[in-house]
Structure 1
């Protein structure tokens, strides 16, 4: 490569860098909305979560942002090795150091935040560009090299997208199907408990339970205990007091000794209540009903990896 070509590439890199810095420090109204404090996110979160093909059909602003964080830095992986001979490891170390400096300046100037997700995504883009350069620039025919490099960049980006999609499925948990509480096999409760689903009225509304219904069954206080198996899950329930004179009731839900929900009422005209409770690693679930309180359609949805389904 002659001196003239090197100068042209250097000018392109400088102009492109100015454009990138503009978007990182000035664009999107950053100068008008300067933060009031430093924002450092040192641990990555959900950086495996790249937009899927279905997401790209109806992309959100966040999907476009993630795609831009990767695609915008592909040119550096192509242009810098063209300008200076360097190996992949050396290039990536220097690139990551530069990105870390830029992210730090963003946070310290309060024109943005230090986000480790951005560092990882930007570095992925540079790595894709470097790989495309190595595949593309193998001949002396300039236009052929450019075309091969462009195609290689697209293929490598698609490959990275696929790898991260697999990683997303492997590391990301999703809500499993709804399981009614009376269907838990390790509950130690009578199999008939909660199966009576007679309709009743609460707050002028007719309630028809779909899965189960629990009450004190004529007693003053009743406690139901279930073993959850130390899983990460959400507990869903509906509760209220049926319409009748002098009605009173209360509800308490706890897990492993920690109380998560407490409700009481003396007014039958109150509308039914709904609640969802996040339980992480809970083993013993205890539900205590007092008076006329009722709960129905109570069940769990477990957070689990898709490969465990």
Structure 2
């Protein structure tokens, strides 16, 4: 590389660095919000940095989708420009780059123009690594334009590889809702009744036909159902109401491991069935107490599980 080319690359590097500084410290109205910030913000624990927008997300991208990709793509040029200016190995380059990003993130937080976010450090560094890899693959000849084209293609291929890898990792470590499991499929540790009586009834102007189960006090004043969930993270679903032609008097209480999550009572006829969804994290023993003429039906849950644990 002759002196003229080196000067051009140096000017491009400086201009691009100024542009990055602008986006890190001044863009998005950062300066105007400084007086409204009440304290420093330091986020040291990585959270969802493997989450990059999927193909379906790109059809209707949100600001967070653009931000996630931009955090990587914006720093790819440094992986090309710096090795062109200074002969350096990958590890030395990455150590210096990460130190610089840590300093900039700290300055962002201390000046109240942003926050120190370890997710940004990881994503920015990943972009710089992609750029360095693309440079190593692309710059193999003395023809400038061929090198530039090869580097761009290599960067795109590496980004697609990173995108796919992150998608796999995100899928593997993100919990999703499993299939619906009716409560009567679990072992009832409290009484013999399992809620399998599914006779139809009317509430208000609607005819109700339970699909999975139905629970009542079975002619008693109060009845309690107890189930062992096995310390699962899940969403519990149920429908409830008082059927027509029965006294409008009843209540429901749902608790897990001694903590109450739902308590409702009815003293007037229901116009329509009620529905409820309850989030339970690590619950072991589920207790459902019914009083009066209230009924619940199609009670079940969907467990939060990793895809590899299905």
Q: Which structure 1 residue ranges, 4+ long, deviate > 6 Å from structure 2? A: 189-192
1:66-96 C-alpha deviation (Å, 9 max, x unpaired): 1111111100111011111111111111111
Cα pair distance change 1:189/1:182, threshold 3 Å? farther
Distance in 1, Cα, partners of 2:280 & 2:50: 25
Residue matched to 1:30: 30
Structure 1 alignment gaps of length 5 or more: none
Distance in 1, Cα, partners of 2:104 & 2:208: 59
Residue matched to 1:272: 273
Alpha carbons 2:108, 2:115 under 8 Å: kept: yes
Residue matched to 1:4: 4
Residue matched to 2:295: 294
Residue matched to 1:39: 41
Residue matched to 1:172: 174
- Aligned-pair distance for 1:226? 1.1
- Aligned-pair distance for 1:286? 1.1
Distance in 2, Cα, partners of 1:23 & 1:155: 26
1:88-116 C-alpha deviation (Å, 9 max, x unpaired): 11111111121122222222222222222
Where do residues 83-162 of structure 1 align in structure 2 (5 Å cutoff)? 83-162=85-164
Q: Does 1:259 align with 2:260?
A: yes
- Aligned-pair distance for 1:133? 0.8
Structure 2 residue matching 1:82: 3-state secondary structure: helix
Alpha carbons 1:174, 1:305 under 8 Å: kept: yes
Distance in 2, Cα, partners of 1:222 & 1:192: 11
Distance in 1, Cα, partners of 2:291 & 2:273: 16
1:52-79 C-alpha deviation (Å, 9 max, x unpaired): 2232233222211111111111001110
Residue matched to 1:281: 282
* Superposed CA RMSD: 2.0
Distance in 2, Cα, partners of 1:33 & 1:196: 61
Where do residues 45-64 of structure 1 align in structure 2 (5 Å cutoff)? 45-64=47-66
- Aligned-pair distance for 1:304? 0.8
State TM-score, norm by structure 1. 0.92
Shifted more, 17-26 versus 297-306: the winner is: 17-26
- Aligned-pair distance for 1:45? 1.2
1:222-242 C-alpha deviation (Å, 9 max, x unpaired): 111111122211111122233
- Aligned-pair distance for 1:194? 1.9
Structure 2 residue matching 1:178: 3-state secondary structure: strand
1:244-292 C-alpha deviation (Å, 9 max, x unpaired): 4642211111112222222222222465332222222222111111111
- Aligned-pair distance for 1:298? 1.2
- Aligned-pair distance for 1:206? 3.9
Distance in 2, Cα, partners of 1:187 & 1:87: 64
Structure 1 residue matching 2:32: 3-state secondary structure: coil
Structure 2 alignment gaps of length 5 or more: none
- Aligned-pair distance for 1:125? 0.6
Distance in 1, Cα, partners of 2:256 & 2:46: 31
Q: How many residues align?
A: 308
Structure 2 residue matching 1:176: 3-state secondary structure: strand
State TM-score, norm by structure 2. 0.92
